[in-house]
Amino acid sequence: MTEQVLEHELVLARRMSRLGTETAFEVLAKAKALERQGKNIIHLEIGEPDFDTPPNIVEAAVDALHKGWTHYGPSAGQPELRQTIAEYVSRTRGVSVAPEEVVVVPGGKPIMFFAMLALIDEGDEVIYPNPGFPIYESMINYVGGTAVPIPLREDRDFAMDVDEMAALITDRTKLIILNSPQNPTGGILPRADVEKTAKVIGNRNIMVLSDEIYQRLQFEGEPFSIMSIPGMKERTILLDGFSKTYAMTGWRMGYGVMRADLAAHITRLMTNSNSCTASFTQIAGIEALRGDQSAVDKMRGEFERRSRAFVDGLNKIKGFSARMPKGAFYVFANCTGTGWESKRLADALLDEAGVAALSGTSFGKHGEGFLRFSVANSMENLMEALRRIDAWTKKNL
Ligand SMILES: Cc1ncc(COP(=O)(O)O)c(C=O)c1O
């Protein structure tokens, strides 16, 4: 690219300096650049299923295009999809949800952004998991809130310590973010801890953003949503979507479930930003939720099998140790035994071993000492990645 000489300085709004990022996309770009130079890279950095969207969903979208679902639709989503989501969430979370409580948006991410724009004033405190999905912290800071991290620890299998969380609540706490199964750790919040969290919140007017995007990818036990606890529904914004469950990351479709008055405000944010989510994808979303679910079960089984094999392999490599995740498709490996800082180690593995992974610090300061490997890659590639990491450690440690 030729460098452009510009006459005028770019003067950004101050808030832009508070915006964070999702490093996965940067590492992916770097890995792709290395590939263009002829290097062979195994991609374990990006958080998306390596499976194709199930064919019944693709067919439904093609059919919808032919039938003319190519126009603007209502900002909150197509009524039939909102109805289908309401039924699906009522069934899977054991709580009665009405279509007016559903807002369809382009991916799960916009629900984080919109919820914070709608609820967080300057100085309001938001408790969020750390290590955690980096967009939480980015959005809290961007809207002027105060980000209050709750550390997730390996010795608790990365489940939040509810007593520790309770100690972080103040009069300024406006929102608590939960995420189970969790990115990047693969940890879950067991039912007893979810119930304890609701107890700790008690009668306070604190909202909960419950990010359940990996809900269908929990390996054991029944996922349990805080929304289903009596009294919590009106204080919960449930985030879910199609990206991970149905391997539809590039379709950009997710949703939030929340009290109807808040849903109306989130809908106003949709009108102001996107107008609506693409219409034909929403018709396919109805098929995703109502049609054959066997592809989801197959993916979950495969992610569990690969996670186990990858964890077993890593535990045999000098300097690394890992616990079996309880859901999602990430292995969050302890690399303190290497004596290397996480970021430096991730860079070295990419440059010298051809394995792209993410530093735990991409997910917040409490991620130091860890690397996140996505197992959304073939078993063959995962085994080759282990061979490369092993060879690298033998040479460098
Ligand atoms: C915890 C978590 N929530 C939400 C999302 C966003 O999903 P989407 O691609 O649907 O915006 C991700 C994606 O990686 C995630 O890991």
Q: Which atom of ligand 1 is nearest to the CA of 211?
A: 3
Q: Cα of 136 to ligand 1 centre, how many Å?
A: 11
Structure letter (DSSP) for residue 84 = H
Place of tokens 């953003």: 209
Q: Which atom of ligand 1 is nearest to the CA of 182?
A: 1
Residues 6+ apart with CB under 8 A from 99: 79, 82, 83, 85, 86
Q: Which atom of ligand 1 is nearest to the CA of 48?
A: 14
Instruction: Give the separation between CA 193 and CA 162, rounded to whole angstroms.
Output: 7
Instruction: Give the separation between CA 96 and CA 119, rounded to whole angstroms.
Output: 24
As a three-state string, the secondary structure of 219-259 is: CCCCCCCHHHCCCCHHHEEEEEECCCCCCCHHHCCEEEECC
In one-letter notation, the amino acid at residue 37 is Q
For residue 49, the model assigns a pLDDT of 85
In one-letter notation, the amino acid at residue 51 is F
Q: Cα of 50 to ligand 1 centre, how many Å?
A: 15
Structure letter (DSSP) for residue 352 = I
For residue 1, the model assigns a pLDDT of 55
Place of tokens 């735990």: 360
Ligand 1, pocket-test mutation among 109, 135, 179, 217, most atoms within 8 A of CB: 109
What's the distance, CA 68 to chain centroid?
Answer: 32
Helix (H, G, I), strand (E, B) or coil at 72: coil
Show the CA angle centred on residue 117, arms to residues 115 and 170, nearest 5°: 75
For residue 47, the model assigns a pLDDT of 84
pLDDT tens per residue, range 19-59:
998 888 889 999 999 999 999 999 999 888 889 999 999 99
Residues in the chain: 397
Q: Cα of 394 to ligand 1 centre, how many Å?
A: 35
For residue 46, the model assigns a pLDDT of 87
173-179/207-211 β-pairing? parallel
First to last CA, the chain: 39
Q: What is the phi/psi pair of residue 307, to 5°? A: -60, -45
pLDDT tens per residue, range 372-385:
999 999 999 999 99
Sort 248 into a burial class: Cβ within 10 Å, 0-12 / 13-18 / 19+: buried
- Cβ–ligand 1 distance for 249 under 6 Å, the answer yes
pLDDT tens per residue, range 126-135:
999 999 999 9
Looking at the chain, the whole-number percentage of residues with pLDDT higher than 70 is: 99
pTM of the model: 0.97
- Cβ–ligand 1 distance for 254 under 6 Å, the answer yes
- Cβ–ligand 1 distance for 183 under 6 Å, the answer yes
> Which residue, judged by its Cα, is nearest atom 14 of ligand 1?
47
Q: Cα of 392 to ligand 1 centre, how many Å?
A: 31
Range 289-320 burial, b when 16+ CB lie within 10 A, else e? bebeeebbeebbebbbebbeebbebbeebebb
For residue 2, the model assigns a pLDDT of 59
